[in-house]
Structure 1
Amino acid sequence: MKDKSIVNNDIIERNLKYINENHSEIYQAYREYGKLVHTQGGPLDDKTRWLIKIAISTVCEYPYALTTHLKKALKAGCTREEIEHVMLLVAPSAGFPKMMNGILALRQEVGEED
């Protein structure tokens, strides 16, 4: 049986491709807005911005966004320990199950869990 998260990622990728092909100006404007907010929105450094995005994606239970943010955070120099700490901080405010889902996504991303 195929992993449900992989199926969902495939669906999301196809839908994103559809939006890009059929509404490219809107999608490009959205992407540019995201880049501007990330890079010029304020004084936070790159690692801090990615850690915040990981926390938000974990709390909102957006697995596709969380996986994307995990990859980008690790590439930006965030350590596994920093990311796990951010996820632990989610539990008291947003709930233990959300934190657990985030930890699982992190463990899968770094190859600790299939």
Structure 2
Amino acid sequence: MEKKKLPKNYQNIRIRYEEYGQALSQLGMAVKNAGPLDEKTVQLIQIAAATAIKSEGSVHSHTRRALELGVTPDEIYHSILLLTSIIGFPSVAAAISWVDDLTLED
């Protein structure tokens, strides 16, 4: 299986701060293994969190991972729409456009 290319900024941080990068990886694995949620649910939660903080890169990253796991675009869009009353329509609309980047053909 081909290893996914990590975002350039993330790679640079890991090179500059090796121990920090290792700690981030270990933390990521620890929190994923800390509970009963399956990986698809984890990715949907992370998409929602990325939407809430308006992180386009994270929405892209977690959307790619979710799609690879078999999460449908409809499930991804629904997880974002559910945030409307919490974070507002403009943030939801932005995240939908970021998911569109990966799910709609030109």
Pair in the same fold by TM > 0.5: yes
Q: Distance in 1 between matches of 2:47 and 2:8?
A: 23
2:13 maps to what in 1?
Answer: 19
Q: Distance in 2 between matches of 1:30 and 1:18?
A: 14
Q: 1:31 aligns with which of 5, 8, 25?
A: 25
Q: What TM-score comes out, normalization by structure 2 length?
A: 0.86
Shift of 1:37: 0.8
1:53 maps to what in 2?
Answer: 46
Q: Does residue 1:107 correspond to 2:75, yes or no?
A: no
Q: Unaligned regions of 5+ residues in structure 2, if any?
A: 1-6
Q: What TM-score comes out, normalization by structure 1 length?
A: 0.81
The equivalences for 1:1-20 within 5 A come to 13-20=7-14
Matched residue SS, 1:44: coil
Percent identity between the two aligned chains: 34
Shift of 1:76: 1.3
RMSD: 1.6
1:4 maps to what in 2?
Answer: none
AA in 2 matched with 1:58: T
Aligned residue pairs total 101
Shift of 1:14: 3.8
Q: Unaligned regions of 5+ residues in structure 1, if any?
A: 1-12
